[in-house]
Amino acid sequence: MATIFTKIANGEIPSYKVAESKDFYAFLDINPLAEGHTLVIPRNTEADYIFDLDDETYAGLTAFAAKVAKAIRKAIPCKRVGVAVLGMEVPHTHIHLVPLQSEGDLNFANEKKQLTPEQFAAIASKISAAFEN
């Protein structure tokens, strides 16, 4: 059975798309630590754990995530874009990209931001506009 993230990448479940390529898909985390918190996933594998990916997929995923991070940095005022891999909840490899003002912003125990659909859509479209393939 397809994972929820495969269904998102295929457009079967809605998401706030930030960027996509043939092999990878980036969308806003629905429970964000910060405005612009984005998830980046591979389309072609549902491998649960990032370090089980084959070398080519791993390299492609991290290179795509770097492009997304650059777009986030342009679109969202922040000092850095933090990177995290957890996978405690969804068993489909994904990289978290989180705009940071300070190191405490990458604490997943922090309260999540409450955003309206309009705010999510506006953030996604700003990052998407800054994305360079």
- Using CB under 6 A, which of 22, 51, 56, 88 touches ligand AMP? 88
Is 1 a residue that touches ligand AMP (CB under 6 A)?
no
Sheet containing 24-28, strands listed edge to edge, beginning at the edge strand earlier in sequence:
17-20, 24-28, 38-42, 95-100, 80-84
Stretch that binds ligand AMP, among 59-67, 87-95, 98-106, 118-126 (CB under 6 A): 87-95
- Using CB under 6 A, which of 50, 80, 83, 87 touches ligand AMP? 87
Q: What is the dihedral of CA 54, 81, 22, 47, to 10 degrees?
A: 30
Q: How far is the CB of 116 from ligand AMP (least distance, A)?
A: 15
Kindly list the catalytic residues.
94
Is 109 a residue that touches ligand AMP (CB under 6 A)?
no
Question: Please, are residues 14 and 28 in contact by the beta-carbon 8 Å criterion?
Answer: no
Q: In the beta sheet, which residues pair with residue 98?
A: 82
- Residues found near ligand AMP in the complex (CB under 6 A): 4, 15, 29-31, 39, 86-90, 94
